[in-house]
């Protein structure tokens, strides 16, 4: 299950509903966290984008994608290299987005 929070208060409400301690997001433009529900056996991906930026959404979705792949057995690195990839992806996306024709 993916949960999207567009504002920091929505993020905090989501963490509360999931039943996890609140994280400090005061300096974040976006964030992604992964949780496992022991009762249902379901993975939960909480994605927050607080600056209304499409590139931040792409960045956080990349993190969620890494978590999803890892959860189904696809071998990936969820550490530092993951963050490098996510930043590179959002920078490339931001650079090329102006060249996409929009109606």
Domain ranges of the chain: 2-99
Exposed / middle / buried, residue 74 (Cβ in 10 Å: 0-12, 13-18, 19+)? exposed
Q: What is the pLDDT of residue 78?
A: 66
Indicate whether 8 pLDDT > 90.
yes
DSSP β-ladder status, 2-5 and 30-37:
unpaired
Give percent of the chain with pLDDT exceeding 90: 51
pLDDT tens-digit series, residues 70-102: 888 888 776 677 788 888 888 888 888 887 777
């Amino acid at each position: 299950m993916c949960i999207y929070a567009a504002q920091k208060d929505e993020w905090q409400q989501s963490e509360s509903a999931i039943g996890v301690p609140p994280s400090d997001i005061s300096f974040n433009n976006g964030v992604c966290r992964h949780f496992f529900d022991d009762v249902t056996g379901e993975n939960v991906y909480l994605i927050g984008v607080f600056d209304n930026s499409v590139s931040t959404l792409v960045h956080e979705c990349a993190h969620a994608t890494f978590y999803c792949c890892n959860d189904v057995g696809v071998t990936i690195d969820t550490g530092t290299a993951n963050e490098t990839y996510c930043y590179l992806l959002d920078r490339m996306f931001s650079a090329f987005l102006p060249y996409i024709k929009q109606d």
